[in-house]
């Protein structure tokens, strides 16, 4: 074998980057350490915790221990593959005979958990009457990740392993360990953990949501279901654990008698541990307690347990279907809004039937199904059109033929899109102005100031645009006001001046004068008041000041005609809602009007020939007051192209 030219090196923080949860989380670290003892066949573990920083943490088990050769080939190998070298199961002797149980270790991570507390530790392991004592330390160079810095051997009698480390990085407490370890080892009543000399009572630190006895062939079985809190993790996959005479039979599993009760990856499986106490099956246990013999008594018991747990599981998921459904709808909201109303109801019917049939579906799986269904609903538009044409009578077909004789499909689509967009603006105003929780200054106000057609036909033109100079003039106006702070987002909305309880939008039209010089000829000012605001004389006077300030100023070098609109939730009955402004020569240069939000919406709807009401009535019989419509109508961030 040729000599190596180069060798692998390790960064000094190798363990922190490779095994972050084990090195940084106390509960994970201790779970890994105790799991190692479980895998060594231990039935009892003593954990001694210090009160002060720097003092010793001691963990001792009565497992099988290791010989010097086993220590070198297992403990000293990074990412040791236990299954490949020792198999999935471990057999160990007890007072009741030899026991066979599934080992949880797979990739050799647990031994590094001691580094959660210090960069060095001591391990004493006894087997075959020899106690090997090793001092292990993380290397400060790049030659290896860790190494044995001291080794000695003495005689011993009992098997087992003791770990000793100083609490220099983290100082664990008894209470946090009792809770964490209870959920991880609850399923085995014979596995005893002592912390500072006190036996951990798993029942005391866990939450049993169900404890019920059921009858099976005139015998009684007790079922206890524990719910694992979010954030807690168990030693491995949870499952259904069978106890006979306060002793674990086999290993917890979600498959009972060949029947899968739950997928171990699903939320219910991850969040529950189920214990079944069936003492009457004592005579049906295999000799090594690795499981049950396949007797009729066992089969009937397993069927009863499976039916009970499946029913509980279904009720658990059914209580969460609304949450899952709402989450999936929100994830696909943009695409759902593009569907026709009949397609939305097809979608709703699918939700109802599918979630009734499979309440356990999670949001990720349901999301994939809904995305596929939306694609189908969108792609069937052509078939839907043919189906609708087939149901039209001759009068309707003639009317459609007349329309298509003068309009192209794209022309019709353009007009309908514009109408639909305006109807949505009206609907949004009606919804948002009545909701006191809405951030009006950043949602409703930009919407209204962008939709200038709300204020009249003359403003239904693209000629009204933002004017940086005008925004600066308004900014200067407010600087002369006490207790008023304003801001302008020059990059996104240069036409909008925002204050604490109102916003002012300013736009203008430029036209050529008699000398062919482009100047500002018309100005539109829109002041929008915040939530529940009543427009009074002061507000009308302030709008008048806007007009005078701009008209009489020298910044624009023009004398434009200015209209100002003040919009709030209500108007004081003691003031007029319109005022005309004229100079000394009776030349009218400005106008101030007051509107409520609902007046704006109703007036705009009239201009659209009440189409909103007419179109809505077409679908009243479909019962729009359902969860899908509610979610679609929830206030959300509006997308505005400005």
Instruction: Convert the pLDDT of each residue in 498-550 to its tens digit.
Output: 666 677 878 888 787 777 777 888 888 888 877 667 888 988 888 898 888 88
Distance (Å, whole) CA 362 – CA 360: 6
Q: pLDDT at position 621, please?
A: 39
Rounded mean pLDDT of 64-70?
Answer: 92
As separate numbers, helices (DSSP H) first and strands (DSSP E) second, the chain gives 21, 27
Residue 389 has phi, psi (to 5 degrees) of -60, -35
Confirm whether 413 is domain-assigned: no
Rounded mean pLDDT of 29-35?
Answer: 86
Distance (Å, whole) CA 442 – CA 531: 12
> 448 with 367, same domain?
no
Q: What percent of the chain has pLDDT over 90?
A: 18
Closest CA to 505 of 448, 432, 427: 448
Confirm whether 6 is domain-assigned: no
pTM of the model: 0.49
Task: List the single range of 36-40, 250-254, 474-478 with lowest mean pLDDT.
Answer: 474-478
Rounded mean pLDDT of 465-487?
Answer: 67
Rounded mean pLDDT of 392-414?
Answer: 77
Q: Which of the pair, 341 or 623, is modelled with greater confidence?
A: 341
- What distances in angstroms separate CA 316 from CA 170, 228, 232, 262, one per listed residue? 38, 14, 19, 12
> 288 with 177, same domain?
no
Closest CA to 403 of 415, 420, 391, 417: 415
> 547 with 505, same domain?
yes
- Asked if residues 137 and 154 have their Cβ atoms less than 8 Å apart, the reply is no
Confirm whether 9 is domain-assigned: no
288-329 pLDDT, tens digit per residue, is 788 899 999 999 999 999 999 988 988 888 878 888 888 888
Confirm whether 331 is domain-assigned: yes
Closest CA to 45 of 201, 199, 247: 199
Confirm whether 415 is domain-assigned: no
Q: Write out the two tokens for 619.
A: 């679908």
122-135 pLDDT, tens digit per residue, is 999 999 999 999 99
Boundary (domain end) residue, out of 260, 281, 307? 307
Distance (Å, whole) CA 8 – CA 143: 8
How many CA within 13 A on the CB side of residue 424? 15
- Asked if residues 451 and 603 have their Cβ atoms less than 8 Å apart, the reply is no
Q: pLDDT at position 103, please?
A: 65
Q: Write out the two tokens for 417.
A: 């899109």
Confirm whether 481 is domain-assigned: yes
Query: Any idea what DSSP says for residue 500?
Result: S
Beta pairing class for 56-61 and 89-94 = unpaired
- What distances in angstroms separate CA 635 from CA 330, 531, 569, 619, 639, one per listed residue? 12, 15, 19, 22, 12
- Asked if residues 159 and 63 have their Cβ atoms less than 8 Å apart, the reply is yes
> 226 with 289, same domain?
yes
Confirm whether 503 is domain-assigned: yes
Q: Is the pLDDT of residue 348 over 50?
A: yes
Closest CA to 497 of 521, 464, 524, 470: 470
* Helices (H), ranges, 94-246: 174-185
**Percent of the chain that is helix, strand, coil (3-state, to 5):** 40, 25, 35
- Asked if residues 446 and 496 have their Cβ atoms less than 8 Å apart, the reply is yes
> 325 with 301, same domain?
no
The CATH number that applies at residue 152 is: 3.30.565.10
Q: Is the pLDDT of residue 422 over 90?
A: no
> 566 with 485, same domain?
yes
Rounded mean pLDDT of the chain?
Answer: 79
Q: pLDDT at position 128, please?
A: 92
Q: Is the pLDDT of residue 1 over 50?
A: no
Q: pLDDT at position 45, please?
A: 93
Q: pLDDT at position 639, please?
A: 43
Domain of 356 in residue numbering reads as: 321-379
The CATH number that applies at residue 260 is: 3.30.230
Element (H, E) at 488: strand 487-489
Give residues with Cβ within 8 angstroms of 200, minimum separation 6: 178, 181, 182, 192, 193, 194
Q: Is the pLDDT of residue 342 over 80?
A: no
> 241 with 326, same domain?
no
Rounded mean pLDDT of 627-633?
Answer: 56
Q: Is the pLDDT of residue 559 over 60?
A: yes
Boundary (domain end) residue, out of 280, 307, 334? 307
Q: Which residues is 125 bridged to in the sheet? A: 132, 161
Give residues with Cβ within 8 angstroms of 313, minimum separation 6: 261, 262, 268, 360
> 21 with 109, same domain?
yes
> 177 with 284, same domain?
no
436-458 pLDDT, tens digit per residue, is 666 655 666 667 766 777 887 77
Q: Which of the pair, 228 or 221, is modelled with greater confidence?
A: 221
Q: Is the pLDDT of residue 357 over 70?
A: yes
Q: What percent of the chain has pLDDT over 70?
A: 77
- What distances in angstroms separate CA 368 from CA 50, 377, 551, 564, one per listed residue? 51, 14, 59, 51
> 133 with 245, same domain?
no
> 295 with 331, same domain?
no
> 543 with 594, same domain?
yes
Rounded mean pLDDT of 174-195?
Answer: 81
Confirm whether 252 is domain-assigned: yes
Confidence of residue 232 (pLDDT cuts 50, 70, 90): low
How many domains are there within the chain? 4
Rounded mean pLDDT of 334-342?
Answer: 79
- Backbone dihedral region for residue 259 (phi beyond 0: left; psi -120 to 50: alpha; all else: beta): beta
């Amino acid at each position: 074998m040729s000599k190596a030219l180069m060798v692998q090196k390790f960064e000094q923080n190798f363990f922190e980057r490779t095994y972050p949860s084990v090195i940084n989380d106390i509960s994970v670290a201790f779970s890994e350490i105790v799991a190692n003892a479980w895998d060594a066949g231990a039935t009892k573990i003593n954990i001694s915790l210090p009160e002060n920083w720097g003092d010793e943490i001691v963990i001792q088990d009565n497992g099988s221990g290791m010989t010097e050769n086993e220590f070198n080939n297992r403990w000293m190998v990074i990412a040791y593959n236990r299954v490949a070298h020792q198999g999935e199961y471990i057999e160990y002797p007890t007072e009741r005979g030899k026991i066979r149980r599934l080992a949880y270790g797979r990739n050799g991570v647990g031994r590094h958990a001691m580094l959660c507390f210090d960069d060095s530790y001591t391990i004493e392991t006894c087997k075959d009457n020899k106690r090997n004592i090793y001092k292990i330390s993380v290397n400060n160079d790049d030659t290896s990740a860790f190494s044995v810095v001291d080794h000695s051997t003495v005689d011993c009698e009992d098997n087992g392993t003791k770990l000793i480390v100083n609490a220099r990085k983290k100082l664990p407490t008894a209470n946090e360990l009792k809770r964490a370890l209870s959920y991880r080892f609850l399923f085995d009543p014979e596995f005893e953990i002592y912390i500072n000399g006190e036996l951990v009572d798993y029942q005391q630190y866990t939450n049993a949501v169900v404890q019920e006895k059921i009858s099976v062939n005139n015998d009684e079985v007790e079922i206890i279901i524990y719910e694992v809190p979010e954030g807690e993790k168990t030693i491995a996959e949870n499952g259904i654990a069978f106890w006979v005479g306060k002793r674990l039979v086999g290993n917890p599993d979600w498959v009972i008698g060949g029947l899968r009760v739950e997928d171990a990856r699903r939320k219910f499986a991850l969040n529950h541990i189920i214990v079944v106490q069936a003492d009457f099956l004592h005579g049906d246990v295999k000799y090594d307690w690795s499981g049950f013999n396949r007797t009729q008594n066992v089969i009937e018991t397993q069927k009863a347990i499976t039916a009970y747990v499946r029913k509980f599981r279904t009720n658990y998921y059914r209580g969460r279907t609304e949450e899952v459904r709402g989450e999936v709808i929100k994830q696909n909201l943009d695409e759902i809004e593009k569907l026709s109303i009949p397609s939305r109801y097809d979608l709703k019917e699918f939700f109802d039937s599918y979630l009734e049939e499979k309440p356990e579906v999670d949001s990720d799986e349901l999301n994939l199904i809904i995305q596929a269904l939306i694609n189908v609903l969108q792609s069937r538009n052509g078939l839907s059109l043919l189906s609708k044409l087939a149901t039209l009578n001759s009068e309707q077909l003639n009317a459609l033929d007349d329309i298509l004789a003068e309009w192209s499909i794209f022309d019709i689509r353009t007009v309908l899109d514009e109408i639909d967009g305006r109807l949505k603006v009206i609907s949004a105003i009606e919804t948002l102005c009545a909701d006191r929780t809405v951030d009006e200054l950043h949602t409703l106000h930009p919407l209204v100031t962008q939709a200038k057609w709300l204020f009249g036909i003359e403003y239904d033109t693209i000629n009204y645009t933002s004017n940086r100079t005008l925004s600066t003039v308004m900014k200067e106006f407010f600087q002369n006001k006490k207790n008023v702070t304003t801001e302008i987002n020059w990059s996104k909305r240069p036409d909008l001046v925002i204050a604490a309880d109102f916003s002012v939008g300013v736009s203008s039209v430029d036209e050529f004068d008699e000398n062919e010089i482009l100047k500002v000829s018309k100005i539109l000012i829109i002041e929008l008041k915040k939530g529940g605001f009543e427009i009074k004389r002061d507000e009308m006077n302030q709008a008048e000041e806007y007009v005078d300030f701009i008209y009489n100023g020298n910044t624009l070098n023009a004398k434009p005609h200015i209209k100002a609109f003040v919009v709030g939730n209500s108007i004081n009955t003691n003031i007029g809602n319109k005022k005309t402004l004229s100079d000394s020569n009776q030349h009218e240069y400005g106008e101030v009007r007051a509107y409520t939000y609902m007046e704006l919406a109703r007036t705009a709807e009239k201009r659209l020939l009440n189409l909103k009401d007419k179109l809505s009535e077409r679908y009243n019989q479909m019962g729009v007051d359902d969860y899908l419509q509610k979610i679609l109508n929830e206030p959300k961030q509006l997308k505005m192209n400005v």
